[in-house]
Structure 1
C-alpha cells in the first residue's frame, strides 16, 4: 500500500513537472532520496538547482507589515580586497605551516594565521597590533595589481544592502571617512557626528577553491580579514548612534562591531562593554534590535557578550558556523567538545546549539526576561532560522531570501543562475543529534523544511553554492540584511 502511494506521488510530481519543462525530475527525486542521502549528478537539461531557484521565486513573499526606517551601526570602513597568496608573496613571505594567533603582532603571525584558515577554507578576522607594520602592509595591498576598494564593515555593508530597497530609509552611524562617504548609497543617511577626517581601512585576503600555496590547499573559497582599526576597535560611535535614534525614530535597529573590541585587551573591553550595554539599554523597548556577530577567539569576551551583557537585551542575532560553535564552546553548550566542524556542519548538531542559545540566553525559557527570540544561522551549504513561537512572522520566506541572495551575490548576478551554482547540502538530515532524532528529507520543489522543538520553530533551506565565487566578503551581512527585510516582528503586550 505504501509503495503504491509513493509511486502515485512520484507520478503526480512527474505530471506537474512535465508542464514546467522538467520531464526528468522524478528520476532525480529517486536519486536524491538514495540510501546515503546524497545527490548524484544526473546528466540532464533540468537540474535540481533550477527547481530550487524557481521554487524560491514562487515561495518568497514580503511580510504583511514591513519596516520603513532601519538604523544600522556602528562599524564601517573601506575594504581593500586582494589575493591573499599574492600579497603574502609580495611581502617576501614563504609558505609554511599554519598556526592561529588571537592578535597579529608581525608579518609572520599574519602568514601563520592566514595559512591556518586557508587550509580549512574558513573565514576569520584579526586585529593587527603594530600600527606602522600594518600601514606598510596596507600600502603594499593597495598597490598590488588587481586590488579593489569596497564599502566595508558589517554595519556599512548591511546598510548598503538595505538601501537597495527604495521604500526603506536607512541611517548608518559609524566612522565614515571621505572615501567611504563617497562610496555609500545616496539613500543612506549619515548623521554629522559620524563623519571622520580619515577612513579606516581593512585588508581582505581572498583565496579561491583549490588554490595552493606550498603544501596548503584551500578546500573552498573564502577570505581572511585583518586591520589596525582604532575607531571601530572601541566602538567609538556607539553613543552617537544611540543618540541619533530619537530623531530618526527607527522601527528596527541593527547593531554590529562588538567583535572589533576583542583585540583591545581585557581591561578595555570589560569597561567598554559595560558602557555599550548601558547605551543599548537606552533604546526603546518596543524597537527590536538585531546583533550581527563576527569572528572572535576570546572565550571570556564571548561569555560576557552572551551571559552577562549584550545577548539578553537584543531580539535577534546573526552568525555563521564558526561563531555558532565558538559560542557553544565558550558557554559550555551542546557539542562544545568539537574542535571544528568537519565538512558541512551537521544540521542536527546546529539545531541543538540554536535551541540551547534560545533556551539558556533567550525567551524560549518562559521564566526568562531576555529579549532574544530569533537566531539566523548561515553556512556555505544551508541556512537555519530559529525563532521562539509568537514573536516573529514570515520566517520561511526570510530564510529562503537569505539563501537566494547568498547564491546570486557570490556569483555577481542579479538573480540566481542555476548553471553557475551547485547543491552541496546532504538531502537527508536529522533535526537533532540526540533524542528525539527525526530524519527529514529536502524536497527541491518546496525547498523549505520546518520542525519544532518545544516552543522553538526551525526553518531550514539549502544554499545553491556558487561554483566560481567572484567575492566572498559581506555575504553574511547580505544574508542577515535580506532575512530581516523579509521578517515581521510581533510587538509583545506590555512593551
Structure 2
C-alpha cells in the first residue's frame, strides 16, 4: 500500500472548510457566553452558542448538524466574510485524499459533492468524475480556539475546534452510485470511506437505507482491496449502533477514530468503560486499550467470524495506538510513528519537528489494561514506540510531540490516518486480476 504509481480511492465526504476564530465569529453574531450545553443537533444560534461553550471548556473537538438552512447560510456568509477567515479542502475523504496526492504520486479518485471552490482547491493528482461535480459548494464552518483562550467564564485547556454545517449532499451520501459505477475502471489499491456521521439528523428510514447501500457497495469491492473507515464525530447512538451492527464494521478492513468517537462507540453499544461520561484529561491508555481490544474481538476477524476488520488506528492529542489482529498487517511501528510525526509537523506548519515549539503530554507510565491484569509500561525516550500483545492482537503505542501554538487544528486526524495508512502493509490477496 502506498507505492509510487499506485491508485487509491477516497469517498465520501467532500466540502469547503471555512476556518476562523470561533470566539470572534460568535461575538460578531452578537452571541454572548452563557451556559455550556451539548446539543446533538443545532436548531438555533442559541444552540450553537451553548454547544461551542460546552466543547471549548473541555478542549474537545466536535461536529454538529445545523438544521435551519436559512439561519446557517446567514452565519456561513458572515463567517466567509470575516477578517482572517480561510478556505480549505474539507471533508474526511477529501482531506485524506489531498494528503496522499500532495506527498506522493498516487492517483486519487474522489467521489463526493464537489463544487467550484472545492474543485479549485483540490490537488492536481485528484480526479473528480463528472457526476460528482455540482454547481454549489457545501460549506463546513470550523470554529477554532487556542489553548488558554477565554470566552466569558470558559477557558480552553487545549487548542481545538468546533465544526458545524447544513450539509445535505454529504448527508444523503449521493456519491454512492458514482463510486460503484467507477469501481471497475479505476481499480483502486485502497478504498477510504467516510461521511457516515453525516447521516445524523437525516431520519431513521434514510439512515437504514443508506447504510444498507453502503454495505452492498462495499461487497462490490474485489477481495484483497483494503477498505479504511474514518469514523468522525457522531451524536446519534442509534446511528452508531447501526454502523456497528448492520455489517458496516465487518465489511471494512481498517478503522480510524479519536478519543471522543471511541468512547461514544463504546457507550452506544455497551462496550468496556461505557459508564464513564467523558475522558478526564488525557484518555487513560489502559481503558483505550480495553476498548480497542473489544472492537477487534467482538467485531474483527476471527476463526468463528466472517469479518474483514483487522486494524484500528486510534489518535488523541497526547498519543496514538495502532491495534492489529496478528498475521494481517506489517510495518505497524513505522505507521504509528509516522502518524505521530505528522501530527506535530502539520499542527505547527513545519517541515520537521521543531523541538522549541512542541511539548510532551503523554503519560510517562501506564497500565496496558484495566479490565484484566495488564502490564505496567514505563516510556523509554530511546524507544519511542512501545509494543504489547493481548489475545491475538498487537498494540503499538507512541507519544505525540504536541504543538504548543498550533497554526491549524482541523484535518489533523485525517492527516494522521493517511500517513499511517501510507506506511502500513496489508497482508491481503491482490484485488484485481
TM-score by length of 2: 0.97
Whether 1:446 and 2:383 are equivalent positions in the alignment is yes
Q: Structure 1 202/494 Cα, relative in aligned 2: closer, same or farther at 3 Å? A: closer
1:24-423 → structure 2 map (5 Å cutoff): 68-363=6-301, 365-423=302-360
In structure 2, C-alpha distance between the alignment counterparts of 1:213 and 1:166, rounded to whole Å = 41
In structure 2, C-alpha distance between the alignment counterparts of 1:286 and 1:493, rounded to whole Å = 5
Secondary structure of 2:268's aligned partner: helix
1:395-449 deviations in Å (ceiling 9; x for gaps)? 1100000000000000011111111100001111111013322001111112000
Whether 1:481 and 2:418 are equivalent positions in the alignment is yes
Contact 1:66 1:485 in 2 (8 A): no
Secondary structure of 2:369's aligned partner: coil
In structure 2, C-alpha distance between the alignment counterparts of 1:102 and 1:236, rounded to whole Å = 23
Contact 1:65 1:488 in 2 (8 A): no
RMSD: 1.5
In structure 1, C-alpha distance between the alignment counterparts of 2:343 and 2:207, rounded to whole Å = 32
Secondary structure of 1:163's aligned partner: helix
In structure 1, C-alpha distance between the alignment counterparts of 2:65 and 2:239, rounded to whole Å = 15
**Larger Cα Rg: Structure 1 or Structure 2?**
1
1:494 deviates by 11
Return 348-357 or 241-250, whichever deviates more: 241-250
Aligned residues: 432
Secondary structure of 1:425's aligned partner: coil
Secondary structure of 1:246's aligned partner: helix
Whether 1:455 and 2:403 are equivalent positions in the alignment is no
In structure 2, C-alpha distance between the alignment counterparts of 1:300 and 1:230, rounded to whole Å = 20
The answer for the alignment partner of 1:5 in structure 2 is: none
The answer for the alignment partner of 1:430 in structure 2 is: 367
5+ residue gaps, structure 1, are: 1-62
Secondary structure of 1:277's aligned partner: helix
1:168 deviates by 1.4
The answer for the alignment partner of 1:14 in structure 2 is: none
Contact 1:302 1:330 in 2 (8 A): yes
In structure 1, C-alpha distance between the alignment counterparts of 2:312 and 2:266, rounded to whole Å = 14
TM-score by length of 1: 0.85
Contact 2:225 2:430 in 1 (8 A): no
In structure 2, C-alpha distance between the alignment counterparts of 1:297 and 1:188, rounded to whole Å = 31
Contact 2:222 2:431 in 1 (8 A): no
5+ residue gaps, structure 2, are: none
1:188 deviates by 1.1
In structure 1, C-alpha distance between the alignment counterparts of 2:312 and 2:391, rounded to whole Å = 16
